[in-house]
Amino acid sequence: MKFWDSSAIIPLCLKEPASETIRTLAKSDEDIIVWWGTKVECLSALSCRRREGSISADAERRARNALKALASAWSEVQPTEIVRQRSERLLMVHPLRAADSLQLAAALVWSEDRPQGLEFISLDKNLCEAAFKEGFTVIP
């Protein structure tokens, strides 16, 4: 089991430079763990790319279908008061955006605040650095 940030889910849905590496990681993960808001974050990223013209309508449709299949199989950390509290603390100690602090807070709740030896998968530099400082093994 590994915790997956939204930035690592997108390359599973679209062909991107990191897709091959991320797909290899996904094949070795029996249970993908994500934050409750991950699907919405991913849908937002796909819609943004379509509006910007970086993907076609057909590519967006295929990516949404891939996301739907992933979401049907992954496990989610639910939005609880403890996630909010962890997120608020993380915002004070790391240069994170709100959504990223919620991702990392969810990972900490999943780890029961014992992240040592657990893997956190993200392609976001700031989030990777914060996850490392919190004690996760950061991949890739």
- Write out 98-126 in H/E/C secondary structure: HHHHHHHHHHHHHCCCCCCCCEEECCCHH
For residue 118, how many C-alpha atoms fall within 13 Å in the half-sphere facing its CB? 23
Hey, what are 31's tokens? 């249970």
Question: pLDDT tens for residues 60-106?
Answer: 999 999 999 999 999 999 999 999 999 999 999 999 999 999 999 99
| Span 15-42, average pLDDT | 96
What pLDDT does 121 receive?
98
The answer to whether residues 83 and 109 touch, using CB atoms and an 8 Å cutoff, is yes
pLDDT given for residue 30 in this prediction: 86
Residue-range definition of the domain harbouring residue 124: 2-139
Q: How many domains does one find in the chain? A: 1
0.85 surpassed by pTM: yes
Task: Please list the residues that pair with 35 across neighbouring strands.
Answer: 77
Residue 120: give its domain's CATH number. Answer: 3.40.50.1010
